[in-house]
Chains A and B, each alone.
Chain A
Amino acid sequence: AQSVAQPEDQVNVAEGNPLTVKCTYSVSGNPYLFWYVQYPNRGLQFLLKYITGDNLVKGSYGFEAEFNKSQTSFHLKKPSALVSDSALYFCAVRDMTGGYQKVTFGTGTKLQVIP
C-alpha cells in the first residue's frame, strides 16, 4: 500500500523566516503526492500536487514543494512565513489499490508561526 510519513507533530517558525514541513513517501510505481492545509474547524484545502515533471512544484498562498526521488521526500516550503499560515498540514498520496482512487493522508504537522 502507498503511504506517507510526517515525522514532525509540530513545527514552530518565526514570522518572516522560511518554513519547511517534512514528508516522506513509500509507494510502488510513480508517486502522486499532495499537500493539504486545514484551518481550525474547517475542511481541508488543496495546496499543491506532484504528478510528473519539474521537481519543484508551486502552489497556493506562496507555498512550494520539492520532490526528491532519491530521498523519497516531498517537503513543503515557503520562503517567508506568515502568522496566518498557522494551521495543520497534511501530506497525502494517491492510492489506486483495487482500481479505485483514494488518498492516504499522513498524520499531519501543526505549523505555528510566531509573531
Chain B
Amino acid sequence: DTEVTQTPKHLVMGMTNKKSLKCEQHMGHRAMYWYKQKAKKPPELMFVYSYEKLSINESVPSRFSPECPNSSLLNLHLHALQPEDSALYLCASSQEGLAGGTQFFGPGTRLTVL
C-alpha cells in the first residue's frame, strides 16, 4: 500500500465549530506532515511528527492542534478558525532517517471557513 488517505475530502465549518481532519498511511513511514496550501501557491509546512512525537511546529496558531495517535494516523483538530484559514490541507509521510526521503502526499482536505 503506497497511499496516503485523508478524510474528509471537503469540509465547511463556521468560526465557532470544532472539527478534525484525519490522515492515514500504511507504508511504515515514521515521519508525517501537515501542510496548508492556498490556491496556486506552494504548500506551507505546519507540523512534522517524527516517530509519533511533534518535532516541528512552524509557528502555527493554537486554533490548529495536531495529534499523532499512532504511527499510521495523524489528526489535525480545528477550533475557532478564521475565514483566512480556508485552504487545501495536505498530509504527507516519509521514511524518516533515509537519505533523500521522498514525501508521499494525500489528496488533501478542502476546508472552507464561513
Given A42-B108, A43-B106, 10 additional A-B pairs, CB 8 A: A34-B102, A36-B105, A41-B88, A43-B4, A43-B90, A44-B43, A44-B103, A51-B100, A100-B55, A105-B43
**Would you call B107 and A106 a contact (CB within 8 A)?**
no
CA distance A94 to B31 in the complex (A): 14
**Would you call B40 and A103 a contact (CB within 8 A)?**
no
CA distance A98 to B105 in the complex (A): 23
* Known contacts A43-B108, A46-B102, A51-B100; A100 and B48 CB within 8 A of each other: yes
Interface residues of B (CB under 8 A from A): 4, 6, 31, 33, 40-43, 45, 48, 50, 55-56, 88, 90, 92, 94, 96-97, 99-108, 110
Interface secondary structure of A, over-half rule: strand
**Would you call B31 and A42 a contact (CB within 8 A)?**
no
Q: Which residues of B contact A45 (CB under 8 A)?
A: 105
> Can you list, as one digit per residue, whether each of A74-115 has a CB less than 8 Å from chain B (1) or not (0)?
000000000000001010001000101111011110100000
17 A-B pairs with C-beta separation under 8 A:
A32-B100, A36-B105, A41-B110, A43-B105, A43-B107, A43-B108, A44-B90, A46-B103, A88-B40, A90-B43, A94-B100, A100-B56, A105-B42, A105-B43, A107-B41, A107-B42, A110-B40
Q: Which residues of A contact B42 (CB under 8 A)?
A: 90, 105-108
**Would you call B56 and A98 a contact (CB within 8 A)?**
yes
CA distance A49 to B105 in the complex (A): 15
Give the interface residue-count category, chain A: 20 to 34
CA distance A45 to B104 in the complex (A): 7
Chain B: minimal CB distance from A74 (Å) = 13
Q: Which residues of B contact A43 (CB under 8 A)?
A: 4, 6, 90, 92, 105-108
Chain B: minimal CB distance from A95 (Å) = 10
Q: Which residues of B contact A101 (CB under 8 A)?
A: 31, 48, 50, 94, 96-97, 101
